[in-house]
Each structure stands twice: as structure tokens, then as C-alpha cells.
Structure 1
Amino acid sequence: MARRVPIAPQAVDAPLTCSATFIVVTISRTAPDAVSTVRSALASVSDLTKNVSIRDLNASFACTVGIGAEVWDELTNGLPRPAELHAFKEVKGGKHIAVLTPGDVLFHIRAERRDLCFEFERQLMDLLGDAVEVVDHTVGFRYFDVRDLLGFVDGTANPVGQAVPQATLIAAEDDGNAVGGSYVVVQKYLHDLRGWKGLGVERQEAIIGRTKLENIELDDAGEEEQKAHKTLATIEDEEGTEHDILRDNMPFGNPAASEYGTYFIGYSKKLWVTEKMLERMFVGVPEGKHDRILDYSRAVTGSTFFAPSADVLDGLGE
């Protein structure tokens, strides 16, 4: 019997670092050979990663690549599509909207040092050249003890240890055509910090569902009451089994321009889990009782990607 060769995933489970860069691009439809240029660049990501990471092996450098539904077929030369891969689903609530914005390829770059992220971006964009148009470029940073700019610890509910690959990486029994891959949803949120600070700590804690200083989880609201963010972001299936996603959110901002925000990025082996979370936040449970954090945090982008295994990515240039 032939021995099954393990499939190497991308660095979906790379540790949260001090610096991260999120680049979303679309493929140019006017540049000659744009698709083949992008395909070749994606196949070179592992080599670029080695070139940069060798400069500081303790910096936890990593880059994860996601491919959008609209370009999956042409970028992968017709590889089977992951079962759940489709464009980001815009969610319209009674008051807020999770908007859909363009995005063919995502690069999630992270390291303990900003200069390593910068150097990787430089080499990557040299390879891509005119073949792509950058539709979003966001530089994130770690804020104190892993807090967002609203002042609360972010990512407390993330899976840890062996629960990380179980929540994020597709196994053969999940989808034989997408083994080792992960669905990725990204959204860029802008915060109304002045309005948020005007609420007072107790009101903020009720909205988030945790204490601000100690990060202690608060009791859930009643069945018909306005639920906290932590409750709406908890997803269970019909059998009552809880499903996790891995959030690698990062704060970003420019005080001189009064811009403050959070870049949400969620990895999951089941896309419906993240989509259900957004539906609960924007539509509300019960309907009409949306996540009150959205009154102070507005989504300005929304895209869905699939991060194939490293083996698939490396093979795109063949």
C-alpha cells in the first residue's frame, strides 16, 4: 500500500505578532499576461518567505495567501473548487451593513518586526508589478496586552493547541478537494472612538460582554434582551456543538487623520460559521437586536478567500 504523503498547510496558525500587513488586490484586466504573472508570484511566496525570514529566525515571520472565488478557476488552472467557496455575502441588517468589496487575492503578512513585513511586501510587489491593483493596504500593530483600540482584549475566544487545526484546516472527510486549506474572511472596521469613550466603562462592558480591565466574561443577557458581542459571535449548530474560528485581528490607525480601526480576519474550515457570526451581529438575535458594537464600529470592506495548502500554492507555477 502506498504511503499517504502529508499535505502541508499554509501558516494559518502562525502566532499573533507585533506587526501585520493585510494586502488585498484585484487582477488587472488590461495588463498583458496578468493572470500568469500573479500565478507565478503566488508560487514564489514560499521562496520569498525564506529570503526574508532568514534575517531573523526569532521574528515569527509568515505570509498566508488567500484566493477569491471569482479568480479561483483561472489562477489555479482549473483545480477543483473548495465546496463552500463563494464571494463575500453582504449582510443587511435593520441599521448596519456588512459590505461587499472587491478582492481577488489576499496577503496576510506578519512578523515581530515591521521591517521584515516591509521587505517582504517590497519583494512581493516587485514580482506582481502591473498585474494587480491594490484595493486595500492596512498595517496593523499589537496594542498593549493584545487589546483593540476600543480598549478590550481581542481574541479571547480563539481556539488553542490542537483545537486550532481542528477549527481552521479542512480534512479529507470535510472536503477531499480542499485538504489542508482554510476559508478566510476579512473586514476593515473604522471606530467612532469619541462616541465610544462617551459611553462609560460599564456600558462598554455590557456591549462587549466582558470586563474591560480583567477581561472576565459577563453573564449572558436574557432571551429577548440585547445580546453582547461575545454572545452573538459564539456559533453553535443545531446539535448544540460550538464551532470556533481563529481571529488574527489587528488594530490600525492614524491619529493625525482621526482614523482608528480594527482589521478583522477570521480563518475557519467551515465558511458558514463565520457567515453565521456576521449574520447574528448585523441582523441580530432576535432580528432587529443587532450587535451594539456596530453603532461605534463601521465595516468599510468585506471579502472572502480560500487559503489553499502550501503544496497547492507552490505548484501554481508548474
Structure 2
Amino acid sequence: MPTTRRGFLGATLALAMNGWRPAAAAGTRVTLERLQPGVYVARAGNAEVARANAAEVVPTLVHLSGAGVLVVDPGPQAAWGGALLGAIRALTPQPVRWVVNTHAHPENVLANAAFARLRPRPVFLASAATAALMRQRCAACLARMATLLGSGTMRGAAIVLPEPALQPDGWLHTGATAWQVQVYANAHSASDTVLYAPRLQLLCAGGLAYRERVPEMHEASLQGWRRALRRLQELPARTVVGTAAGTPAQTLAPTLAYLDALAHGIGAALAAGSDASRANDAVAAVPFRHWRHFQSRHPLNVQRAWRELEDLWMQGEPLA
């Protein structure tokens, strides 16, 4: 795809200001969609990671605070990060001051490397749990991504670890905007960080909120995820940025409805004495059959949820 004049000027400005040319591969392009004044989201594929999409599936949040730029979940590889930086520079000369990693999945964090070369260098932030998980996992995740996507796609990749500075129920201040920090253990992942800006009524939910795509539950806790979403629904947010952007009714509510369908169907089946061989039949999944990756992802989610709820049921724990 040819580079637009706007994209060329943005990349040129980035080079002049930072002394570094983004390592964007040919054809890599990032489009920033305006959500509200000063708030943008990078358009990304609402899909699972695959070679065909180069793992460019994370809708990075970009906030122009006036005191600098906040970037949340910068993406999967250096080429995407470089193109994202070019798109930011086309909007503003403000320096990127904060890069937040909401959780330790490679498609969210491996583009840290593109921003680590900036001068002045932004501060990289995460919860203590996410920072620890990245320290444990990132080398293996980088190797897996190189195998899946190809060494060319992952050219320039490097591990940049965040500071474990985001505290549960604390605040992140980006100029005039204050972000409430919430951290959920054992929800969509082992640790999920959420940022909420009351002044903007903007919720950055990371991997907790999906939109018309079946949630990925490989390391999820069904019950923990449901609890997290119920708490997030109490916030007076107008806009949610998760694995896709939208309103709470488009993201939080349907994600919770899907997880509730798993819990209610499997719970009733367990109470009736059914077994895991009939787990798929127990879940009322018709409302979600049009979601992306239903055929491949939903059966795996049912089996994962069954194992979790069966253990709880045998311990006498409530499943509602």
C-alpha cells in the first residue's frame, strides 16, 4: 500500500525529533481513529493472532494529554510500533511520555521496543504482576511469535520490560487527565490492568472486553473474568477500548453475556449430573454463533470453563 503524504510527513517529523527512523516494514500502516478530542485508537484486526495479520490485532489507545502522549498496549512488533509512532507524529509534536502494558500477551507488549529508542525515552508502566509475568514469559513469547509470524515480521524485536509502578486503586496522572488504576488477578489473564479516566468517561479495558468475537480463554478464569466485568459495568464510561473499541453496550455487556451463558449452562448441567462429553449441548450459544472464531474457539472455551466449574462445584462453591 503506498504511503500517504500525511504518513510521510509524520514519519519525517518523527525522524527529525527523535533521531530514529521507525523500523516499519513495507506495507505497514497504522490509522488512528478519533474517539473524542485528544483520544484516538489505532485500528487493528478484530481477530486472533495469525501470520496473515502479523499479530496486528490490538487497538492501541493514544491520548494526547497536552503534557505528552500516553500509549496503551503499543502492539506486537517493531514495524507496527514504528508505523504507530509515525501516525502519532502526524497528529502532534508532543513527546510520547507514557507507555502502559495492560497484560503480558505478546501482541500487546512486543512493540515496546519501537518506543524505547525515543529520546527522551518514555516511561514504561505496568502492574507489579504484569511486569513479573513479562519478565518470566517475554523471551519465550518472542521466540514463539518469530516462529508464527516469520523472522521478517519480527525484525527489530526486542524485549523492553515495564516498571512495576501501577498500583491497584491508584492513579496515573497524564497532564490534566487522571486515570484510575484497577488490577484484576485471574480474569482474562493472570493479571489484567484497567485504566479509567472519569473526566473523559473513557475505559481502557485491555483484554477484558471483546466485540463480536469469541473471547480467548486459554489462561482465563471464567469466574474471575465475570467478576471483573461486573465491576467495570458500574463505571460511568461512554467509551471502552478493549480488544475492540465501542460503547459499554457493545463490549462489556456482550462479553459478560457470553461468559454468563457458559457459567449458567455448565452449572445447570453439573447439577443435573451431566458430564463433559455433553458440555457443548449445555451452553445456550445461539446468540453468539455469528461472532468471529465461534467454530474454532467456542468448543475450547466450553471445555476450559467446564474444568474450572466442575472443580468449584465439587468443592461446593456457588457457580452463579
TM-score by length of 2: 0.29
- 1 or 2 for the larger relative contact order (CA 8 Å, sep ≥6)? 1
TM-score by length of 1: 0.29
Indicate the structure with greater helix content.
2
